[in-house]
A and B are shown apart, each in its own frame.
Chain A
Amino acid sequence: MSLSISLTLNGVVRDIVLDDPRVTLLDLLRERLALPGTKKGCDRGQCGACTVLLNGKRMNACLTLAATLDGATVTTIEGLADGDALHPVQTAFLENDGFQCGYCTPGQIMSAVGLIAEGRAGDDPERIREGMSGNICRCAAYHGITRAVQEATRRMAAAERGDAA
C-alpha cells in the first residue's frame, strides 16, 4: 500500500510517497528526509524531544502518522532560523544557558515557540514552567530554559510593538 502526501516542510512544498502507513512524522523527518534535528527520546509522547510545529501548533512528531499530513505545514528546528540570523528563542537559549547536553533542546525550542504563539504564559515564570512541562530535560537545565523563554517572550513582544529589542 503506497500513499502520496504533499506537505510544506520548512517553507518548501515536498511531495512524498510513503511505502508504509506506519511511518511517523518523526521517522519521516529523521530517517527519510535527512532532518535529524528533531530528536527521538521516548517515541511515546512522554518527553517532548520530538516537538515540531504542525500547522503552527506544537505537537509530538512521534505520535503523528505521516500519512495523515497531506496538505499540512510542518516547521522543524532546521526551519526556524532565517539564514544565519537565529530565531529570538534560539538566541535566548544560547544567552541563558538553556541547555547542557543539548539533546532535548530542539524540542524545548520548538515547544517555546509554540507556547509564545499561544500567548497565555507571558513572561510569568510559573506559567512558563507549567506551559513547558511537556518537555523533559535529563540534564535539568530548567532554570536556564525558563529564563530563556521569559527573555524571548519579552523581546518578541517588544519587536512586535516596534521598539528595537
Chain B
Amino acid sequence: MKRFDFVQPASVAEALQVWHPGAVWLGGGTNLLDLMKGGVMLPDTVIDINRLADLRGITTLDDGSLRIGALVSNAELADDTGFAHDFPMVAEALLSGASGQLRNAATVAGNLMQRTRCAYFQDTTAACNRREPGTGCDARGGVDSHTAVLGFGDACITTHPSDFCVPLAALDAVVEVQGPDGAREVALRDFHLLPGETPERETALQPGEIIVALRLPADAKGFAAHARYLKVRDRTSYAFATTSAAAALRVEGGVIAEARLSLGAIAAKPWRVTEAEALLVGHAPDAAPFDQAAARALDGAVPSNDNGWKIALARRTAIRALELAAAGTPERMPALPASPFADQNGDHAHV
C-alpha cells in the first residue's frame, strides 16, 4: 500500500471540510483496502467516516418511506426483521453477496460505490480506461466474464458487480448525498453511469460528496408478497453474479397490477426497462407473458466480447425470477441461495 494520512472526523461537516482531491472515504474497507493493496487505488488521505453518528440507523419517516443510514452494514440491514419482511428481495440480494464476514463489515454506501470486478481493472499492468483514462481496454478480446451485453461502449465493457443495487433499482430507491454545495438526492436508477466516452466517471456522485443515506419509498412495500432475487454464479456461494434478476409483482384481485424487473451483471448499472414491466400488467401471475417481458428487457443486447451466452442466460434468469416471484415470497426469508445439495422444493429452494 502507498503511504497515506489517516483522519477520523467527528461530524459530516468536518468530513466535508477535510476532503480534498486525492482523499477517499473509508466505510467497511472491504473494497477500498483490497484495491489499495493492489495499487489500483492510491489515495493520499483516508477519511474514516465510521464516527459519523448521523450516518447510522434505520428509520421509518412520516411518509412511510424507510431511511437507511449510509453506514448500516449489509448484514445489519438484511437481518433486520422488519426490513426483510417489507423488502424481502433486497434482503435476499444482500445475503447472496460476499460472505458472512464481509457483510458484517460492508456498508450500504460502500456497496453502492464498489468498483468493477473486471480482471484488467484490478491488474495495474493491463490497459484499462476506467482505471487510467486513455490507456485502452484489455477486456475487449480478453478473458473476463464480468462483461456487459447492454449499455457498453468502445471505451469500457464492464458491469457493476453489486447484488444489492439490482432490487434497489427495481424499487425506485433514492440516494441522499451531501457535499460542499449542500444536500441533494439522486434516484438509484440514475446513480450509476454507463461508460460512454468517460468510463472513469462511474457514479453521479461529484468529487467531495458523501452518501449519507438511502431511502426506499413507502409504496415499495406493496410488492412484499411476490418478490424474489435470483443470482446465477460460478459456485453455490461466495461468488459474484454471472447474471441476476430482481422480480416483484403487486397482485390485486388475482391479476398483476404492477410489475418490476431489474437485471444485474449485464451492464454498468442495474438494467431496468419499464416497457418490459408494463407487458405483465393485467395478467394472472400464473399465466403472464414472462418470456416476452424478459425478451423486451434485453432488447438490443449484443456481445461485447466472447459473451453472447450471457444474453440467453440473462433472459432465462429473468423468466425464472418472475416465475419465482409469481409463486410468492417464501415464508422463511431470505431463502437460501442455490445449492446442489439442497431440497429444491422446501424453504431452501432458490435456483
Contacts and interface: CB of A to CB of B under 8 A. Distances in A.
A30 to B, nearest CB: 16
B295 to A, nearest CB: 32
B179 to A, nearest CB: 24
B100 A3 contact: no
A1 B31 CA distance: 24
Given A3-B6, A60-B105, A120-B79, A126 B339 contact: yes
Interface residues of B, number: 36
B302 to A, nearest CB: 32
B338 to A, nearest CB: 10
Given A21-B46, A68-B50, A45 B102 contact: yes
Contact of B29 (A65, A111, A127): A65
A21 B5 contact: yes
A111 B101 contact: yes
Interface residues of A, number: 36
A68 to B, nearest CB: 5
Interface in A100-145: 111, 114-115, 118, 120, 125-127, 129-135
Given A64-B105, A130-B337, A44 B50 contact: no
A115 B79 CA distance: 13
A134 B102 contact: yes
Interface stretch (A33-41, A51-59, A87-95, A149-157): A51-59
Contact of B336 (A22, A51, A60, A127): A127
Interface in A32-84: 43-45, 48, 51, 54, 57-60, 63-65, 67-68
A24 interface: yes
Given A45-B30, A65-B26, A115-B100, A126 B336 contact: yes
Interface of A: 1, 3, 20-22, 24, 43-45, 48, 51, 54, 57-60, 63-65, 67-68, 111, 114-115, 118, 120, 125-127, 129-135
